[in-house]
Amino acid sequence: MFSPTLLITDDDAGFRETLRDVLEPEGFRTFLAEDGLKAFEIVKTEPVHVVLLDMHMPCIDGLETIRLVHEIKPQLPCILLSAALDEMIVKAAEELLAFSVLSKPCSRKQITSVVRHALKTAYSF
């Protein structure tokens, strides 16, 4: 059976693992990355269907990571998450064609719903 692959990118290991623990029982495979550069390397080498990104990370932030990802895979849905969400971040994410922007913390239902919607919209599954 096919399992869509998600890339969870956050510099907080606890948050990465919590998202993995929420999403894997829903039938998703996951890759974990601690920063945007690692995420970009994974996108270049692994089959990833949706990228979840924290906004504030070392090396490069979530917005810059979306820009890099979309340079090589323009249709790959990217979901930006931030505990410090403001209008500037939302506007910049929209300009980079982020699939969605979510405020941290988000509920299990909310993150699962957005991921499923991204998969349905991008791949019809």
**C-alpha 1: how far from chain center:** 23
Domains along the sequence of the chain with CATH: 5-123 (3.40.50.2300)
**Residue-level pLDDT at 18:** 96
| All residues at 6 or more sequence positions from 83 whose CB lies less than 8 Å from its CB, including other chains | 56, 103, 104, 105
In the predicted model, is pLDDT for residue 125 greater than 80?
no
Going by C-alpha positions, the residue among 77, 79, 85 that lies closest to residue 104 is 85
Going by C-alpha positions, the residue among 7, 55, 57 that lies closest to residue 33 is 7
55-75 pLDDT, tens digit per residue, is 999 889 999 999 999 999 999
Q: What is the pTM of this model?
A: 0.96
